């Protein structure tokens, strides 16, 4: 008598997703902030107008379209959390929180004279130079981490600063939170070192680099560990610069940064290998098998 065996398909597990990454990015940025109340760390709309003053940004936020958009975002979040339908019309305007990107609360210092550096090729890019990110993802990051003001510059911070505002009963905006701030909003002080990235976000950095290092086009290199280490270090430098106002896909942004870190290490190792082979050949010794193969191909084609 035959026995019927039922095979249950294995559900595919998504080891990382944008929703979890965005949550950890927000939690990490919050650790550098101070708020009038604990719940004010959750914003409903980002006003990203870096060239305008806070007053101009708040005027833009007070427009009916922006208030309606903020209500829709808040209603969608509450509907997901409470498990019931929440209508945007039922949300009071005074409950809305607006995140305004602003540098007003960041102190300034004397502008240092700029050093004249010779132009570098793509192979000479240093580890912390994130200017070589793919053009397709360059708009996902706010590249401005210090703003020039005549002969003064704002202190460099690890992510673009912001302030949180909410409307009171008189329809005027009140500041309820500041980034890179420690203590109360009135008597506190600027601080850029008291926060940290969350432990879960750090593990996400490591997991992303390890998964990427196992791809077929990277896992065969003997310096794969150096590639992973450089990529993790790069993510700790640019990870919080992701701009939530422009995209909800940090996975693509992080992958682009990892790819450039791997390519940078590869180009460095190749350059060192070429120098070593040149020295060996100049002294009448056999170079690496790669150089010998290249020489054989040249002789065959010649």
The torsion angles phi and psi of 145, rounded to 5 degrees, stand at: -115, 5
111/114 Cα distance (integer angstroms): 9
Whether the per-residue pLDDT at 55 is higher than 60: the answer is yes
Q: Which of 203, 208, 199, 200 is nearest to 227 (CA)?
A: 208
85-89, 91-95, 143-147, 288-292: least confidently modelled range: 143-147
Whether the per-residue pLDDT at 144 is higher than 80: the answer is no
Place of tokens 């998504």: 14
Instruction: Please give the residue that has the higher pLDDT: either 2 or 227.
Output: 227
Whether the per-residue pLDDT at 94 is higher than 60: the answer is yes
Q: Which of 173, 152, 148 is nearest to 54 (CA)?
A: 173
Helix axes 54-61, 64-82, angle to 10 degrees: 70
Do β-strands 181-182 and 45-47 pair in parallel, antiparallel, or remain unpaired?
unpaired
Q: Report the pLDDT averaged over residues 137-162.
A: 67
Taking the CA atoms of residue 24, residue 29, residue 31 and residue 34 in that order, the dihedral angle to the nearest 10 degrees is: -140
> pLDDT, tens digit, for every residue of 252-267?
999 999 999 999 999 9
For every residue of 116-152, DSSP letters joined together read ------GGG--TT-GGGS-GGGGGGB---SS-EETTE
**Model confidence at 16, in pLDDT bands (50, 70, 90)?**
confident
Whether the per-residue pLDDT at 301 is higher than 80: the answer is no
> pLDDT, tens digit, for every residue of 220-252?
888 999 999 999 999 999 999 998 988 889 999
Q: Which of 265, 276, 290 is nearest to 123 (CA)?
A: 265
Instruction: Please give the residue that has the higher pLDDT: either 120 or 285.
Output: 285
> pLDDT, tens digit, for every residue of 19-50?
999 999 999 999 999 999 989 999 999 998 87
- What are the CA-CA distances from residue 137 to residues 50, 256, 258, 281 (Å)? 19, 7, 12, 43
Whether the per-residue pLDDT at 215 is higher than 50: the answer is yes
């Amino acid at each position: 008598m035959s026995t019927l065996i039922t095979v249950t398909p294995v559900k595919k597990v998504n080891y990382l997703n944008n929703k979890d990454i965005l949550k950890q990015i927000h939690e990490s940025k919050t650790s550098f902030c101070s708020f009038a109340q604990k719940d004010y760390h959750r914003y409903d709309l980002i006003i990203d107008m870096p060239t305008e003053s806070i007053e101009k940004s708040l005027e833009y936020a007070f427009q009916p379209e922006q208030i309606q958009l903020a209500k829709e975002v808040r209603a969608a979040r509450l509907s997901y959390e409470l498990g019931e339908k929440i209508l945007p019309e039922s949300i009071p305007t005074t409950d809305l929180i607006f995140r305004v990107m602003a540098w007003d609360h960041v102190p300034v210092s004397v502008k240092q004279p700029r050093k004249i550096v010779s132009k570098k090729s793509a192979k000479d890019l240093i580890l912390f130079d994130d200017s070589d990110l793919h053009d397709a993802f360059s708009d996902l990051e706010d590249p401005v981490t210090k703003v020039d003001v005549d002969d003064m510059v704002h202190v460099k911070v690890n992510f673009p600063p912001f302030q949180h505002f909410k409307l009171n009963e008189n329809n005027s905006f009140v500041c309820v939170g500041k980034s890179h701030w420690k203590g109360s909003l009135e008597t506190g002080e600027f601080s850029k070192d008291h926060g940290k990235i969350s432990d879960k976000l750090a593990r996400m950095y490591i997991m992303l680099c390890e998964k990427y290092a196992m791809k077929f086009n990277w896992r065969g290199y003997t310096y794969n560990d150096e590639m992973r280490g450089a990529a993790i270090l790069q993510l700790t430098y640019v990870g919080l610069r992701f701009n939530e106002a422009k995209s909800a896909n940090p996975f693509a942004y992080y992958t682009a940064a990892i790819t450039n870190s791997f390519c940078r290490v590869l180009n460095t190792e190749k350059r060192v290998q070429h120098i070593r082979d040149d020295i060996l050949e100049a002294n009448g010794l056999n170079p690496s098998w790669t150089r010998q193969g290249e020489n054989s191909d040249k002789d065959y084609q010649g």
